[in-house]
Amino acid sequence: MSRPHPAGEPAPRHVLILGGTTEARRLAAELAERPCVRVTTSLAGRVTRPGSLAGEVRTGGFGGAEGLAAWLRGRHVDALVDATHPFAGTITANAVRAAAATGTPAVILRRPGWQAGPGDLWHPVASLAEAADALPALGRRVFLTTGRLGLAAFAHLSGLHFVARSVEPPEPPLPPDTRVLLARGPFTPAGERDLLRAHRVDVLVTKDSGGAATAAKLTAARQLALPVVVVRRPPLPEDADAVAHVVADVPAVLEWLGRRERPRLSGR
Ligand code: NAP
């Protein structure tokens, strides 16, 4: 919980974090320590046990950009932080539209994507459907780490064996020959190498999520000379730069918030 502010002082600034990522959790923990900030994290509600979060938490969709805009106005939000996953494109588009509609200062936190290095055998694709199309030419035993909601795109591939890893059980439909592994990162290159060998994997599929917690599989694939199908990120909305500040990490968000001193920033 945020610390109470002393009587007679201006009400704390209200920061809304659109969450669901490690960075959002870290940011909430940092801000909840500050006496002059009230922090609310918003979760989509997809994960059944999201773990404890510092500050206030609300769960579930807002009802599109208009619903989010109403929430920003109604709860007197002074700053909006989109710290959602790089593949959560709809909520980011809604955040940009709602910030523009309400004049709420906004920042988008996008962790950098992964970069291929020497020895990497990457096959970039634009979507999960393209990843599925690419697979039969690349291997027969697939390590799939596209998240529990991303398996339907591969469900028609009956000739391949899949090892699908996710934090929570995947949503059907699944490919007919699928072994599910439930695990939460961070993972190590040695552990990932052992896993790839144990399951005799010959191709990986991942989203370009970025971040250190799940990058070890890429190191392991390089060491074992395995091809990796990498699904590219959706682009940020066209007007994102005009409406919001875009940064790469939590310290940069804190720095941006620090530059906004006044308790209420808009004339809404
Ligand atoms: P999405 O496609 O961009 O969002 C779909 C709808 O879910 C949004 O329009 C919104 O509903 C609601 N929503 C999404 N994030 C929300 C949030 N933080 N708070 C309140 N409502 C939210 O998002 P998604 O890909 O389903 O991801 C959902 C959440 O899981 C995100 O918050 C994201 O950070 C996290 N996550 C996603 C991935 C991934 O690969 N996509 C991976 C890890 C974590 P309304 O329009 O009704 O407001």
- Is the CB–ligand 1 distance for residue 90 below 6 Å? yes
Between CA 225 and CA 142 the distance in angstroms is: 14
CA dist., res. 122 & res. 118, Å (int): 11
pLDDT of residue 51: 83
Q: What is the SS3 assignment for 1?
A: coil
CA angle 18, 2, 210 (to 5 degrees): 35
Kindly give the distance from the C-alpha atom of residue 24 to the centroid of ligand 1, in angstroms, as a whole number.
Answer: 13
Ligand 1 close to Cβ of residue 115 (< 6 A): no
* Ligand 1 atom closest to Cα of residue 89: 3
CB distance 210 to ligand 1 below 6 Å: no
What is the per-residue DSSP string for 138-179? T-SEEEEES-TT--GGGTT-TTSEEEEEESSPPPSP--SSEE
Q: Is the peptide bond before 186 cis (omega within 30 degrees of 0)?
A: yes
Count the helices and strands in the chain (H runs, E runs): 8, 12
The CB of 186 under 6 Å from ligand 1? The reply is no
Nearest atom within ligand 1 for CA of residue 92: 3
Distance from the alpha carbon of residue 209 to the mean position of ligand 1, in angstroms: 14
- Backbone angles phi and psi of 252, in degrees to 5: -70, -35
Give the pLDDT score at 60.
97
Distance CA 250, CA 228 (A): 29
Task: Tell me the β-bridge partners of 122.
Answer: 228
Q: What is the pLDDT of residue 248?
A: 97
Among protein residues, the one whose CA lies closest to atom 8 of ligand 1: 91
18 lines ligand 1 (CB under 6 A): yes
CA dihedral 147, 239, 37, 259 (to 10 degrees): 130
Report residue 229 as tokens: 């199908």
Ligand 1 touching residue 91 (CB < 6 A): yes
- Please state the three-class secondary structure of 190-206 as a single string: HHHHHHHHHCCCCEEEE
Task: Indicate if ligand 1 lies below 6 Å from the C-beta of 50.
Answer: no
How far is the C-alpha of 82 from the C-alpha of 121, rounded, in Å? 32
Instruction: Specify the pLDDT at position 157.
Output: 98
Ligand 1 centre from 91 Cα, in Å? Answer: 6
Q: How many CB atoms lie within 10 A of CB 229?
A: 25
- Domains (range + CATH), the chain: 13-112+234-259 (3.40.50.720), 121-231 (3.40.50.720)
Number of C-beta neighbours around residue 113 at 10 A = 14
Distance CA 106, CA 258 (A): 13
Q: How far is the CA of 96 from the centre of ligand 1 (A)?
A: 14
Whole-angstrom distance, CA of residue 268 vs CA of residue 217: 47
For the record, the structure tokens of 153 come out as: 């795109």
Per-residue model confidence as pLDDT tens for the chain (268 residues): 444 555 555 667 999 999 999 999 999 999 999 989 999 999 999 888 788 899 999 999 999 999 999 999 999 999 999 999 999 999 999 999 999 999 999 999 999 999 999 999 999 999 999 999 999 999 999 999 999 889 999 999 999 999 999 999 999 999 999 999 999 989 999 999 999 999 999 999 999 999 998 999 999 999 999 999 999 999 999 999 999 999 999 999 999 999 876 544 433 4
Residue 93 CB–ligand 1 contact under 6 Å: no
